[in-house]
């Protein structure tokens, strides 16, 4: 066998051997994806014109789909910083998280409260800093009453309704005792949903979670003692833990950056009605903005915050 044939055969054998080896053995496919979730949790993102970060189901879905579609990604770290937000948005995000078939670790920042904790509870592990403020497990429902503001502005409202309770959410009068009871029952049910998610995610009894779900905040150290987080540490500790859960060494860390729309694309995506509302709001004072917000959102907004 001449020298050239020996080289060709050797290369062929090497290709076959490498093809049969697990990716982890050759340092390929050992990614840990880091996804940053920063801001309040809402169904839709806040505008660039008003500022402020927002965590939306669409944002989380897009980032998780990216991690799902990349076979080299073996684990995911969610770096969360959030005071909470919309109940429905939180529940939709948890639904997306449950569909990820890869190890997930949450790394908590300065504040991960209420809805922020809600979306973290289903992770495989939670890592918090000693001074992280977390917990605040509970729900709050609000119906603004702008009757006094109407009177101050000289506005009188005439209500025509079909349905006994149809105007209870309009914010133009005080609730009756019966309506307050209805609101409390609805709030209690949403609170129970929060308790169940935490109990399932953390492997705790519902009774134990209810004793912790007073709405109060805990430091990272307190949360670890109570079973609400697993380890004390920062983002690197969370990355190391995610790699360990995935069974990989020396992971390649990839930081996902959310796509931020330009001002032009934001305005282009607005309907004419929304653009008119925005222009009106920018020209109103504080009282006018409160009034317009109440009239635009007449229903109660239960939130995990």
User: What CA–CA distance (Å, rounded) separates 218 from 126?
Assistant: 14
Name the DSSP letter for residue 99: T
Nearest Cα neighbor of 108 from 200, 245, 215, 229 is 229
Token readout for 151 is 């009177």
Opening angle at CA 53, ends 49 and 57, nearest 5? 110
Residues 116/134, Cβ–Cβ less than 8 Å: yes
User: What CA–CA distance (Å, rounded) separates 149 from 153?
Assistant: 6
Name the DSSP letter for residue 40: E
Give catalytic residues, as residue numbers: 114, 166
Strands 54-55 and 73-82 turn out to be unpaired
User: What CA–CA distance (Å, rounded) separates 127 from 230?
Assistant: 6
Name the DSSP letter for residue 140: B
**Beta-bridge partner residues of 254:** 33
Map residue 20 onto helix, strand or coil.
helix
> DSSP string covering 166-201, please?
TTTTSSSSPPPHHHHHHHHHHHHHHHHHHHHHHHHH
Measured in residues, the chain has a length of 305
How far CA 268 is from CA of 46, 58, 262, 299, in Å, comes to 15, 19, 10, 28
């Amino acid at each position: 066998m001449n020298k050239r044939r020996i080289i060709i055969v050797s290369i062929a054998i090497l290709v076959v051997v490498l093809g049969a080896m697990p990716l982890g053995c050759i340092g390929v496919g050992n990614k840990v994806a880091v996804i940053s979730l920063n801001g309040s949790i809402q169904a839709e993102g806040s505008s660039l014109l008003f500022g402020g970060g927002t965590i939306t189901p669409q944002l989380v879905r897009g980032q998780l789909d990216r991690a799902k579609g990349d076979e080299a990604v073996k684990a995911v770290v969610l770096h969360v910083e959030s005071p909470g937000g919309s109940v429905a948005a939180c529940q939709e995000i948890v639904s997306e998280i449950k569909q990820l078939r890869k190890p997930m670790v949450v790394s908590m920042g300065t504040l991960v409260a209420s809805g922020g904790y809600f979306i973290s509870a289903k992770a495989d592990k939670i890592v918090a800093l000693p001074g992280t403020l977390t917990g605040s497990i509970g729900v709050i429902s609000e119906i603004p009453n702008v009757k006094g503001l109407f009177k101050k502005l000289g506005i009188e409202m005439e209500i025509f309704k079909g349905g006994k309770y149809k105007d209870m959410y309009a914010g133009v009068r005080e609730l009756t005792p019966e309506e307050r009871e209805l609101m409390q029952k609805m709030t209690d049910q949403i609170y129970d949903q929060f308790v169940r998610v935490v109990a399932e995610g953390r492997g705790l009894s519902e009774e134990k979670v209810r004793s912790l779900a007073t709405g109060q905040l805990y430091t990272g150290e307190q949360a670890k003692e109570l079973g609400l987080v697993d380890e004390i540490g920062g983002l690197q500790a969370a990355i190391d833990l995610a790699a360990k859960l995935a069974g990989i060494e020396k992971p390649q860390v990839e930081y996902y950056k959310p796509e931020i729309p330009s001002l032009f694309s934001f305005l282009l995506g607005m309907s004419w009605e929304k653009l008119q509302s925005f222009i009106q709001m920018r020209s109103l004072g504080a009282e006018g903005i409160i009034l317009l917000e109440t009239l635009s959102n007449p229903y109660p907004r239960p939130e995990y915050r």
